[in-house]
Structure 1
Amino acid sequence: MVSASEDINTLRAALAAAEAKAAAMETRAINAEAHAARAEAEAAVAKAKLSATMAIIEDLRLQIAKARREQYGQKSERAARLIDQLELQLEEFEASAAEDEIAADEAARNADPGAPPRRRRPARKKPFPPHLERERVVVPGPAQCPCCGSTRLSKIGEDVTETLEAVPRQYKVRQTVREKFTCRECEQISQPPAPFHAIPRGHVGPSLLAMIVYDKFALHQPLNRQSEEFLREGIDLSLSTLADHVGSATSALRPLFELIEAHMFSAERLHCDDTTVPLLARNKTITARLWTHVRDDRPFGGAAAPAAVFYFSRNREGEHPQRQLEAFSGLLQADAFSGFVPLYAPGRKPGPIYECACWAHGRRKLFELADIAKSAREPKFVISPVAFEAVKRIDAIFDIEREIAGKSAADRLAVRRQRVKPLVDELHKWMTDERAKLSAKSPVAKALNYMLKRWPSFALFTDDGRICMTNNAAERSLRGVALGRKSWLFAGSERGGERAAMMFSFIITCRLNDVDPKAWLADALERLPNHSAQQLHELLPWNWRRDAEAAQAA
């Protein structure tokens, strides 16, 4: 028989074995859990590294695209759209990289609580602008030494970390107080006259009025959205009130628009173009037009300030540009719109207008038939060898033109006669020979005909150093309108289109002169009521900038 002591020993051994087995299983489970956590952390880190790498790649692609555009110039609107797309992609990749790095940090802490953070975002290279208000938040220092417990501490320095914060728009009510006095002798009451407001009987100051106008026409925020934003901030400014303010501001600024208009049409050379604007009509929208005229003498070293004037019309009939340009004579850079043809009549009064065709338009028609990128996307698309050769020859002329950008008209003309004119003459002969070999219905023939039929207008720049090869100055001025159409959808009336044209004139003119449009609008609206009519030219954007620079230097 087995004694009781032996049974106890057996049971103890079995219990010890069970406990050892349980401990081993627990250890294996802990190890497996730790291994899984490490694997998860490694996967998160790998994902974060991939996201960061993709962000770097997109950043480099964007820099390359911008560098190419800087070096070779804009060949078409497609280049601008490509850069916009790359910037959007970079934004998305940067945001994804930040999310993945934070997830990798969290996974690493779960795997090893004592591990240092893995996230290593680059430090800000430039300090925040000094004019920003600084709010100093001091983290209290220790009351005693954490090492020995002594309270005899002495400050030896500090580390400052700056973070940029946003404060919601702040408003204030300005109270203009006019005190009344009575005379003890004659008992007559006297009081100083009321100051002039930015707009008659206006209840908004010039800065707020400028913000409303700028948001509507430069940032394309319709007044109903602005009204909702004001209401969220506790200020009741109805749509009708804002519309009244915009109309009053337009009326106040009209004298400055007329001065810009006079400056514009005194030029020797103008750019002209137009774009579509939906106009609200009876239960539908019709396609109206916004015309732009740009004066920019900087390409040939001219000293006159650049400016832009916009006009609105209900349609695209030729009478509109003819009326707008009736007082102008000189060089007109525009597309081949038939409405311009009467302007080029030999006996025109008050003087002749000379047609200067846009090489970018002519090149674009050929480039569409020689688009290598399109050929890569669409296997059925076949590149035209004739169009490809034409684009190469035109680009060789553009390369020389970039070298003389900004030089005087005389210097440009000398280079053109020596280096450009032989290439242009050779291109004309080559295009004429190739056109003779093609069918009249061929797309390449139509693209060649566009230039050959207007060749004197295309070749005119070789005889005048003031002429630019392209009409890109006018097209750039219309870019904001094209972007804004998706926001404001349509012009509510013809008067609304005319107001928009005037405000676009101010905004684009400011930008051409490196002036902040909102700051200029605020200052002009504040000074106009008390400004002498004979000195209004002081408020024009280019004079305003010089005055601001002089005041800053002083």
Structure 2
Amino acid sequence: MDLDPSTLPNDIAALKAIILGDRARRSDTEAYIAHLKLQIEKLKRALYGPKAERTARLLDQMELELEDLETTATEDELRAEQVAAKAKTTTVAGFTRKRPSRQPFPEHLPRERVVLPGPTQCACCGGSRLAKLGETVTETLESIPRQYKVIQHVREKFTCRDCEKISQEPAPFHTIPRAFAGPGLLAMIAYDKFGQHQPLNRQSERFALEGIHLSVSTLADLIGATCVALEPVFKHIETMVFAGARLHGDDTTVPVMARGQTDTARVWAYVRDDRPFGGSGSPCAVFYYSRDRAGVHPQTHLAGYRGIFQADAYGGYNKLYELNRSPGPIIEAACWSHARRKFFELADIAQNAKRKAQGKTPAFVAPMALAAVQRIDALFEIERAINGQSPAERLAVRQQLGAPLVAELEIWMRAERAKLSRHNDVAKAIDYMLNRWSSFARFLIDGRICLSNNAAERALRTLALGRKSWLFAGSDRGGQRAAMLYSLITTAKMNNVDPQAWLADILARIASHPVASIEKLMPWNWTPQSRALAA
């Protein structure tokens, strides 16, 4: 801001107001520039697709930076207004940051009307003959702290004057026998632990601050009883997952407590998601825990399955693809995202630029790896256009547009591989694909197959995000309980259902719900009990 020294006031408070106003304008400008940069990156991603594996991570980082800048800008703006008001000066020009338009609050939220008393006389002439013209409503979203209540089930006793027998209504069904916790409290504890990654010791501290003393051992007892109550739901989801004609599979590490140290265990995810090819099956996921990564675990999980299996090239899956396997062979469909990642790591230009800016020696960027990434990206671009269409429609487009690109890619890879040593990193990435080429090209003959295994990786994100919060699983049994509840929470999210509300509702119903009708409680068929009664 250009200032004329002759126009500056001599009052110290007024000078402070000018300085703070200039700081507020700079903060607003920086926040607005960051907002525009973020919008540009999002538009680039929408227009050209993700050009790099780390594009989403870059957008997340930019959003965090924008959040900090906007917070600083608002703080500086309010402080400048306060100082200007105290100084009673008008020398500071106001600057209003362009903020996004506020969307109306959801209609289902309850409204509380606070009616301010109207004037009793005219502010202009002082007259008392006033008539109501209308009203102006300003809505403010408010938060109410968690509320608790004790429900007393009163069963009156009656005695018969004729036979002197006592009559009384039977006790209502409880989610947990002889337990003091209601279904809403059980669902909140379970979802906070496995959905929001809040360990039980932190939850116990939070309850204590709210005046309710629940020890960690008590909360652990409730979690164990909740798992027992929800086991029929988990078993039904498990059945639905393995009834699909196509599955996604993946695994991730889980630290587990051991004697004097922590061991690295595994959680296996199997996902059924027929939405990419317009299938009628509901999306669902199931998780399993194991102490190690031995191949016997996925072979046990998939012992009764036959169909298409999309996964990485883990050697433990090989026995599943044998032709003489009972009840039948599993058809392997390789993941192009895994293959692309091996080339991308050798052609990460952005990472090299970062290393150069930090003064580190940049790694070698392989032109051959960059060319492979660009060829594979062309296939993903075709897949985005046919996502959600029927298998026949997807197959027709793939045969017309994708098959020539795949044929050219194979010819190019075999020609370039002949020029490379077997110890070359690019050669290893090429061999990864050529050794499994029939599995990679299988999507050209079956419209149900996806190009990537990202569905399983998205399911495992629920667990990966919480690993740093809970550090490790307490035991093998704890890992098994976590896998079960991750299955329920992830399935609810895949069906756009609030996991905590769903868990609370089915915990309230499941004790008296017939096992034969368990399908009605599944997330894809679920209707809240209050809404069902209203209907």
TM norm. shorter chain > 0.5? yes
* Contact 2:462 2:490 survives alignment (8 Å): no
Instruction: Quote the residue 1:59 is aligned against.
Output: 35
Q: Which protein has the larger Cα radius of gyration, Structure 1 or Structure 2?
A: 1
Cα distance between partner residues in 1 of 2:351 and 2:255: 31
Instruction: Quote the residue 1:229 is aligned against.
Output: 206
1:259 to 226, 236, 249: 236
The 3 A distance-change label for structure 1 pair 417 and 131 is closer
Instruction: Quote the residue 1:458 is aligned against.
Output: 440
2:327 to 350, 355, 364: 350
Instruction: Quote the residue 1:506 is aligned against.
Output: 488
Q: Deviations over 1:106-155 (max 9, x none)?
A: 34334544689936464853222233233333333444444444444444
2:411 to 429, 451, 461: 429
What TM-score, normalized to structure 1? 0.89
Instruction: Return the offset for 1:102.
Output: 1.1
The 3 A distance-change label for structure 1 pair 29 and 301 is closer
AA aligned opposite 2:439 = S
C-alpha RMSD over aligned residues: 2.5
Cα distance between partner residues in 1 of 2:348 and 2:505: 48
Instruction: Quote the residue 1:243 is aligned against.
Output: 220
Instruction: Return the offset for 1:58.
Output: 2.4
1:83 aligns with 2:36: no
Cα distance between partner residues in 2 of 1:123 and 1:69: 21
Instruction: Return the offset for 1:474.
Output: 0.3
Cα distance between partner residues in 2 of 1:104 and 1:185: 85
Q: Deviations over 1:197-223 (max 9, x none)?
A: 011112111111111111111000111
Aligned with 1:33: secondary structure? coil
Cα distance between partner residues in 2 of 1:549 and 1:445: 61
2:467 to 485, 490, 494: 485
Instruction: Quote the residue 1:23 is aligned against.
Output: none
AA aligned opposite 2:372 = A
Cα distance between partner residues in 1 of 2:47 and 2:530: 30
Instruction: Quote the residue 1:17 is aligned against.
Output: none
Aligned with 1:278: secondary structure? strand
Instruction: Quote the residue 1:323 is aligned against.
Output: 300
Instruction: Return the offset for 1:69.
Output: 4.0
* Contact 1:270 1:295 survives alignment (8 Å): yes
1:269 aligns with 2:246: yes
Instruction: Quote the residue 1:306 is aligned against.
Output: 283
Cα distance between partner residues in 1 of 2:128 and 2:515: 72
The 3 A distance-change label for structure 1 pair 552 and 185 is closer
For residues 147-546 of structure 1, the aligned pairs below 5 Å read 147-379=124-356, 380-544=362-526
Aligned residues: 525
Cα distance between partner residues in 2 of 1:452 and 1:552: 59
Cα distance between partner residues in 2 of 1:51 and 1:470: 43
Cα distance between partner residues in 2 of 1:117 and 1:374: 43
Cα distance between partner residues in 2 of 1:170 and 1:520: 19
1:125 to 93, 97, 102: 102
Aligned with 2:116: secondary structure? coil
* Contact 1:311 1:501 survives alignment (8 Å): yes
* Contact 2:18 2:91 survives alignment (8 Å): no
* Contact 2:25 2:95 survives alignment (8 Å): no
* Contact 1:109 1:115 survives alignment (8 Å): no
Aligned with 1:378: secondary structure? helix
Aligned with 2:373: secondary structure? helix
Instruction: Return the offset for 1:175.
Output: 0.5
Q: Deviations over 1:157-216 (max 9, x none)?
A: 333322222211111111101111110011011111111101111211111111111111
Aligned with 1:356: secondary structure? strand
AA aligned opposite 2:75 = E
Cα distance between partner residues in 1 of 2:111 and 2:531: 28
What TM-score, normalized to structure 2? 0.92
Q: Deviations over 1:454-486 (max 9, x none)?
A: 111111111111111100000001112111011
1:105 aligns with 2:87: no
The 3 A distance-change label for structure 1 pair 47 and 200 is same
AA aligned opposite 2:392 = A
The 3 A distance-change label for structure 1 pair 365 and 236 is same
Cα distance between partner residues in 2 of 1:75 and 1:502: 36
AA aligned opposite 1:468 = C
Cα distance between partner residues in 2 of 1:138 and 1:549: 31
Cα distance between partner residues in 2 of 1:256 and 1:74: 37
* Contact 1:211 1:518 survives alignment (8 Å): yes
Cα distance between partner residues in 2 of 1:116 and 1:208: 54
The 3 A distance-change label for structure 1 pair 274 and 175 is same
Cα distance between partner residues in 2 of 1:46 and 1:552: 59
* Contact 2:282 2:524 survives alignment (8 Å): yes
Percent identity at matched positions? 58
Instruction: Quote the residue 2:359 is aligned against.
Output: none
Cα distance between partner residues in 2 of 1:552 and 1:186: 39
* Contact 2:238 2:286 survives alignment (8 Å): yes
Q: Deviations over 1:37-74 (max 9, x none)?
A: 55543432332222222222222333334444445555
The 3 A distance-change label for structure 1 pair 453 and 552 is farther
User: Mind listing any 5+ residue stretches in structure 2 that lack a counterpart?
Assistant: 357-361
* Contact 1:290 1:313 survives alignment (8 Å): yes
AA aligned opposite 1:256 = V
Aligned with 2:54: secondary structure? helix
